[in-house]
Structure 1
Amino acid sequence: MMRLLLVLAFLAVPVLEILVFVQVGQAIGVWLAIALLAAGSLLGSLVVRREGRKAWRKLQDAMQSGRMPEPGAPGGAMTVAGGVLLAVPGFLTDVVGLLFLLPFTRPLMRGLGARFLARRIENLAQRTPGPGLGSPFGGMGSPFDAMRDQHPGSGPVIHGEVIRDEPGRPAGRDSSRDLTGR
């Protein structure tokens, strides 16, 4: 269901952006509409660059000091997402990008995002058998399941050499046997 919505969004958003651009162009003039789109793209790229540098510096500082990065990542991620939406040409994406960036609309967007993620995690937990996150292959299982079922007890063959470190014997290679003990 989510994939279908994403496909529809990818098809509908450009069409809606064109319709809105035509309406705005008729209302204020084509050249002014193009100038507004260019200004929005420039502003978005500046926001992404600034926030990206800030996040990169914070990550480097945390890594150099041996600590985990600060938990303020969702705010930085929202700012970067808003900047990306502003950088994409279109008035609708600019409006959504501004909702991510403006201080008085940011808590609303953060709450919507948190609810969306909570629902997605809850749906994943209900569909997944067992206590963990389950197979990354979804309900299909692992591609190696069929091989394991055809040859029970067999596993991958790992070639190598045995190095024994026993008291009384000099350390070194014991090449007279392979890994199976033969």
Structure 2
Amino acid sequence: MPLHYLIALFIGMPVLELALLFKLHGAVGFVPTVLLVLFTGVAGAALVRRQGVNMLFKIQQEMANDNLPAPQMIDGVMILIAGALLITPGLITDVAGFSLLIPFVRERIRFWLRDKLEQKIRNGYIQVKVNRP
């Protein structure tokens, strides 16, 4: 990822979040704004915990059946990212975090990542070597 994207992400996103929180504060007041941020953090943490435990169970089941649990592991990473986004104060990160908790959204992201990986392999950016015994 180029440096200017990282700068935009780590500087621009908090500025956008603050601006949105100030707008919300102006519309509904201080206490409701703080309660909303606290509620999304607590509710998000509970949902992430529940989905994370379920995903660990699915990974264990796949491994017990001698299957590679790649989709479940990718989902697990997305659930972990959702948790980080949901405990970060802000409305934009909350929307992104809650979106990652929707299985359909995770599935779409997984397919997109797969397509990107296949494209990079086809273009020669990534090379895969398989050693066979």
Same fold at TM > 0.5: yes
Name the one with the larger helix percent: 2
Name 1:34's counterpart in structure 2: 34
Paired residues of 2:41 and 2:87 also in contact (CA < 8 A): yes
State yes or no: 1:114 paired with 2:91: no
RMSD: 3.2
Name 2:16's counterpart in structure 1: 16
> Radius of gyration: which is bigger?
1
State yes or no: 1:87 paired with 2:87: yes
CA–CA distance in structure 2, aligned partners of residues 52 and 33 of structure 1: 28
Runs of 4+, deviation exceeding 6 Å: none
Identical aligned pairs, as a percentage? 24
Name 1:45's counterpart in structure 2: 45
CA–CA distance in structure 2, aligned partners of residues 123 and 3 of structure 1: 21
Unaligned runs of 5+ in 1: 135-182
TM-score of the superposed pair, with normalisation by structure 1: 0.55
Paired residues of 1:47 and 1:79 also in contact (CA < 8 A): no
**Could you say if the C-alpha distance between residues 61 and 11 of structure 1 is closer, same or farther in structure 2, counting changes exceeding 3 Å?**
same
CA–CA distance in structure 2, aligned partners of residues 57 and 40 of structure 1: 25
Name 1:126's counterpart in structure 2: 123
CA–CA distance in structure 2, aligned partners of residues 17 and 121 of structure 1: 35
Bigger RCO (CA 8 Å, 6+ sep): 2
AA aligned to 1:48 is V
- CA shift for structure 1 position 75: 4.8
Name 2:101's counterpart in structure 1: 101
Name 1:68's counterpart in structure 2: 67
Paired residues of 1:40 and 1:94 also in contact (CA < 8 A): yes
**Could you say if the C-alpha distance between residues 25 and 46 of structure 1 is closer, same or farther in structure 2, counting changes exceeding 3 Å?**
same
Q: Deviations over 1:25-71 (max 9, x none)?
A: 111011110000000000111112112222223333444x3622556
**Could you say if the C-alpha distance between residues 10 and 125 of structure 1 is closer, same or farther in structure 2, counting changes exceeding 3 Å?**
farther
